[in-house]
Amino acid sequence: MSQPTLEIRFTVNRKRVRVQVPARLTLADCLRHELRLTGTHLGCEHGVCGACTVIVNGEAVRSCLMLAVQAEGAEIVTVEGLSNDEALTPLQASFRKHGALQCGFCTPGMITTAHALLSEEPDCDADRVREVLSGNLCRCTGYIPIVEAVLDARAAYRKSRGD
Ligand code: FES
Ligand code: FES
C-alpha cells in the first residue's frame, strides 16, 4: 500500500521549494533524494554521527532525526548554501588550511555545526568548540585540526558581526 503524501514548502539555501513527500520521509532523504542536495551526508541515520547536520532556522539540526513535513515554513541551509561555487567561505578555507579533513565524509556536518556555533558565538574558546563538535564523529582526522580550523575562523565571524 502506498504511503500518504503531503505537500510542503520551505526555503533551502535562499530558494523557496515545494515538494510532495511521504509523511514519514526524513528531512535528510528529502534534501538528498527530492532536492538533489547530496552534500548532506548520511552515516548512522539515528542521530549519533552528525554527518547529516543542516541549519534549520539558525540552529544545527540532525536531518536524519527530523521529518521533512516538520520543515514546513522553515529556513534551511545545507553545506551547499554556505558558499557559492567560486569561493570557499572563511570556515571552509580554514578547514583546507589546517588539513581538517581526509575522506571528507564528516566534513559537511562539521562545517554546518561549526558555522551555527560561530554565527552565535564568534568568541568561543577551544573547550566550547570541542563540546559542540563532540556530537560529530570523524573516523580520520583525530579532531585536533578540526578544532584548530574552527578557532582560526573565528576572526572572520567577528568581522562579519562588525567587531
Ligand atoms: S546520519 Fe544523522 S546523525 Fe548520523
Ligand atoms: S574526514 Fe573522514 S570521517 Fe572525517
Q: Where is the domain boundary, 82, 114, 132? A: 82
Residues 143 and 101 in one domain: yes
**Which of the four pLDDT bands, split at 50, 70 and 90, describes residue 162?**
confident
Query: CATH number, domain at 144?
Result: 1.10.150.120
Select the more confidently predicted residue: 113 or 162: 113
Of 81, 137, 60, 128, residue with least CA distance to 154: 128
1 pLDDT above the threshold of 70: no
Question: How far apart are alpha carbons 89 and 138 in whole angstroms?
Answer: 21
- For the CA of 45, the closest atom of ligand 1 is 1
Record the cell numbers describing residue 90, joined without a space. Answer: 572563511
Q: Which helix (H) or strand (E) holds 10?
A: strand 5-12
Q: How far is CA 35 from CA 11, 40, 88, 102, 104, in A?
A: 12, 11, 22, 27, 21
**Average pLDDT over all residues of the chain:** 95
- For the CA of 52, the closest atom of ligand 1 is 2
Cβ–Cβ under 8 Å, residues 25 and 67: yes
25 pLDDT above the threshold of 70: yes
Record the cell numbers describing residue 134, joined without a space. Answer: 563532540
Proportion of the chain above pLDDT 70, given as a percent: 99
Query: CATH number, domain at 25?
Result: 3.10.20.30
Distance in Å, CA 119 to ligand 2 centroid: 23
Average pLDDT, integer, range 55-67: 97
Average pLDDT, integer, range 9-18: 98
Question: How far apart are alpha carbons 85 and 105 in whole angstroms?
Answer: 19
Where in the sequence is the domain holding 29, given as residue range(s)?
A: 5-82
Residues 96 and 153 in one domain: yes
